[in-house]
Amino acid sequence: MLRSSPLDDPVKAAHAWARYLRIMRWMMLVTVGLVATAIYLLYRSNGAISVHFYIAAALGIGFTMLLASALMGLAFLSSGTGHDEAIVDPLEDDRVDGDDAAPR
């Protein structure tokens, strides 16, 4: 039998997604600041080299930061709403009392 997820409730889901978008807005601001700082430090240490180097560095740092923050935000969303507890664990019956390790 499937357990219902707290995200099935539209009010709770709207609140959770609003919180996720707020986190992503802050992380976008942090990412832009970090990319600007990195480009400044690269320019200061390397001087005027190819513009392609700075574009690649900005895109690489920006993409990495936004991807990491999106995935961590989704993990926080899933855990914070109780969605993680709504799964059905097929191995739950195979465990021995007091043994949290996977069956052998």
- Three-state SS sequence of the chain: CCCCCHHHCHHHHHHHHHHHHHHHHHHHHHHHHHHHHHHHHHHHHHCCCCHHHHHHHHHHHHHHHHHHHHHHHHHHHHHHHCCHHHCCCCCHHHCCCCCCCCCC
Domain that holds residue 52: 25-82
Examine residue 18 and state whether it is found in any structural domain, yes or no: no
pLDDT one-digit tens code per residue, 70-82: 999 888 888 777 7
The angle subtended at Cα 26 by Cα 77 and Cα 29, nearest 5°, is 145
pLDDT one-digit tens code per residue, 28-65: 999 999 999 999 999 999 888 899 999 999 999 999 99
Per the prediction, the chain carries an average pLDDT of 83
Per the structure block, which two tokens stand in for 54?
């700075």
Domain count for the chain, please give it.
1
Examine residue 103 and state whether it is found in any structural domain, yes or no: no
Examine residue 70 and state whether it is found in any structural domain, yes or no: yes
Examine residue 63 and state whether it is found in any structural domain, yes or no: yes
Examine residue 32 and state whether it is found in any structural domain, yes or no: yes
Examine residue 60 and state whether it is found in any structural domain, yes or no: yes
